[in-house]
Amino acid sequence: MSQEVAIIGAGIGGLTLALYLQRQGIRPVIYESAATLEPLGAGIMMAYNAMQVFEDLGLAALIEAAGNRVLGIDIADQQEKHITATALDQADLQKGIYNVAIHRAKLQEILAEAVGMEHIQLSRRLTSIREGEKTNLIFEGGHQAHCDVLFGADGIRSVVRQHIAPGSSLRDTGQVCWRGICAHQFPELKTDLGVELWGNGDRFGYVVLNPQQAYWYAVSKSKYAPGPQIPERILSFNPLARQFIAATPAAKIIYSPLADLAPLAHWHSHNICLIGDAAHATTPNMGQGGCQAIEDAYTIGKLLERGHPLQATFPLLQQIRTKKVNKIVQQSRLLGRLSQLENKYAASLRNFALRLTAATVARKQLNFLIDIHYI
Ligand SMILES: Cc1cc2nc3c(=O)[nH]c(=O)nc-3n(C[C@H](O)[C@H](O)[C@H](O)COP(=O)(O)OP(=O)(O)OC[C@H]3O[C@@H](n4cnc5c(N)ncnc54)[C@H](O)[C@@H]3O)c2cc1C
């Protein structure tokens, strides 16, 4: 008899995993806490590594058409003086795959439609798990379900993780972030570049999502922003910051304290496996958290294609993926600190050093990020 497979979480990771399981004839049921699939009103950058996975799934063209091709990220100082750039090169471009900036809701809609809404149960917030002959899933409101194999793709505050790794802990970074989407009313912006401006203790970034919309984010230290209210130091950071923020309805601006997850000893137990943020949440400084969730799903998909039984993929997933995700978690934390240096002398020394060394370092870094052929 075939195994019953459940996935908790219809986010980027859970949906991509469902597509790879379906390819192998496995029909997972996906349980999602939200009542509708209308995720955060924010943008997301799907970097070249994630876009290669979507190419493998036959979805890259659809995602690209709904978003905006981005060839690289430019980093400049608060006065927009160039510091460094990370860009795809000719060899990457010849493959016809790009980074894509897209509205999160649009990305989730494309993935959910590919999976099939009939496989996704909404308003199912998992509250606890009971293991017996079958694994029992207990949801808010008393609803119950069971499965033989369970994937926890339920994000940074994963309930599934609490079940298999109760000692795991999130690490506060002392940084907070605001994000928003506004009407694209900035004809002077380069549409094929993401831009990030580094100041002394604050950061502001933006990218065009499509001809109608642009996405921006601002990062500061929690000591300057004890709550969701955007402080004056962000509004006056650069004229563009004020314009982007003014063009965004205040109620739609998303405020998030930034945290990551201390590395876990085990991402799995005998019939339960974590993927994405549930297993290895990272800070958003490298724009890789979602991409890494997608790479987890891809890795499981490739292992299944090679004939590994489903549960045998769990330890292999952790073995294959740990080095890359741990490096990203660590480098992203470091980048967060480096990009938010408060002392203006330290910040200008940083900018000077980066201008001198950045091209080769950035390319090396990019090669490591975009490579998915380790599996
Ligand atoms: C400010 C910011 C900017 C970012 N920018 C980028 C970027 O540009 N590129 C990038 O790749 N990543 C980015 N990330 C990271 C990215 O958002 C996450 O890494 C990614 O969403 C993780 O995907 P996931 O599927 O593991 O989890 P999630 O996307 O968090 O999905 C989890 C799903 O599970 C559901 N869920 C949660 N708990 C339960 C429960 N108990 N029961 C049932 N369902 C549940 C949630 O509703 C959600 O739908 C950013 C993060 C932040 C905070």
- CB of 276 closer than 6 angstroms to any ligand 1 atom: yes
The preferred substitution site among 15, 16, 17, 33 for testing ligand 1, maximizing ligand atoms within 8 Å of CB, is 33
Residue 290 Cα: closest atom of ligand 1: 11
Q: Would you say the CB of residue 19 lies under 6 angstroms from ligand 1?
A: no
C-alpha separations of 333 from 15, 296, 305, 355 in Å: 27, 21, 34, 21
Residue 354 has pLDDT above 80, yes or no: no
User: Which residue has a Cα nearest atom 38 of ligand 1?
Assistant: 154
Q: How far is CA 112 from the centre of its chain?
A: 17
With a 6 Å cutoff on the Cβ, whether 67 touches ligand 1 is no
DSSP line for 92-128:
HHHTT--EEEEEHHHHHHHHHHHH-GGGEE-S--EEE
The whole-angstrom distance between residue 349's C-alpha and the CA centroid of its chain comes to: 30
Q: Which residues pair with 204 in a beta bridge?
A: 197, 218
Q: Is 285 in the pocket of ligand 1 (CB under 6 A)?
A: no
The verdict on residue 152 lying in a domain is yes
Give the pLDDT of residue 356: 66
Residue 203 lies in a domain: no
The answer to whether residue 95 is domain-embedded is yes
**What is the average pLDDT across 236-241?**
95
CA of 363 from ligand 1 middle (Å) equals 27
Confidence of residue 85 (pLDDT cuts 50, 70, 90): confident
CA 284/CA 290 separation, integer angstroms: 9
Q: 3-state SS string over 172-228?
A: EEEEEEEEEEEECCCCCCCCCEEEEEECCCCEEEEEEEECCEEEEEEEEEHHHCCCC
Write down the number of H helices and E strands in the chain: 12, 18
Predicted pLDDT at 344: 80
The answer to whether the CB of 196 is under 6 A from ligand 1 is no
User: Hey, which of 38, 44, 63, 170 would you mutate to test ligand 1's pocket, going by the most ligand atoms within 8 Å of its Cβ?
Assistant: 44
* Total domain count, the chain: 1
Mean pLDDT of 63-83: 93
CA dihedral 94, 83, 257, 180 (to 10 degrees): -60
Task: Please report whether residue 17 resides in a domain.
Answer: yes
Atom of ligand 1 nearest to the CA of 254: 1
Distance, CA of 69 to CA of 79 (rounded, Å)? 26
How far is residue 157 from each of residues 163, 168, 173, 221, measured CA to CA in Å? Answer: 12, 10, 16, 22
Q: How far is the CA of 12 from the centre of ligand 1 (A)?
A: 7
CA of 260 to the centre of ligand 1 (A): 12
| Band of pLDDT at residue 39, cut at 50, 70 and 90 | low
What is the per-residue pLDDT across 135-178, written as a single tens digit (0 to 9) for each? 999 999 999 999 999 999 999 999 999 999 999 999 999 999 99
**337: pLDDT strictly greater than 90:** no
Does residue 365 lie within any of the structural domains? yes
Task: Give the orientation angle of helix 48-56 with respect to helix 289-305, to 10 degrees.
Answer: 30
**Which of 7, 12, 37, 150 for mutating ligand 1's site (highest number of atoms within 8 Å of CB)?**
12
Instruction: Please say if the pLDDT value at position 336 is more than 80.
Output: yes
The pLDDT > 70 percentage for the chain reads 96
Cβ of 194 closer than 6 Å to ligand 1, yes or no, is no
- If 0-12 CB within 10 Å is exposed, 13-18 middle and 19+ buried, where does residue 299 land? buried
Would you place residue 357 in the very low, low, confident or very high pLDDT band (cuts 50, 70, 90)?
low
Radius of gyration for the alpha carbons in the chain, expressed in angstroms and rounded: 21
Q: List 45's β-bridge partners, or say none.
A: 101
Q: How far is the CA of 148 from the centre of ligand 1 (A)?
A: 25
In the prediction, which pLDDT does 1 show?
64
Q: How far is CA 125 from CA 145, 169, 224, in A?
A: 12, 21, 34
User: 249 phi and psi, to 5 degrees?
Assistant: -55, 130
Residue at 227 is within a domain: no
How many CB atoms lie under 10 A from the CB of residue 100?
Answer: 24
Q: Is residue 201 part of a domain?
A: no
Tell me how far the alpha carbon of residue 94 lies from the centroid of ligand 1, in angstroms. 31
Let me know if residue 193 belongs to a domain. Answer: no
Q: Tell how far the Cα of 132 is from the centroid of ligand 1, in angstroms.
A: 29
Under the banding of pLDDT at 50, 70 and 90, the label for residue 255 is very high
313 within 8 A of 20, measured Cβ to Cβ: no
Chain position carrying tokens 């230290």: 221
Q: What is the CATH number of the domain that holds 59?
A: 3.50.50.60
Q: If you average pLDDT over every residue of the chain, what do you get?
A: 93
16 CA: nearest ligand 1 atom = 25
Residue nearest to atom 37 of ligand 1 (CA): 154
pLDDT digits (tens, 9 = 90+) for 183-228: 998 888 889 999 999 998 899 999 999 999 999 999 999 999 888 9
Query: Whole-angstrom Cα distance, residue 123 to residue 76?
Result: 43
Whether 9 lines ligand 1, by a CB cut-off of 6 Å, is yes
- Per-residue pLDDT averaged across 15-34, rounded? 98
Domain span holding position 24:
5-170+260-370
Say if CB 241 and CB 199 are below 8 A apart: no
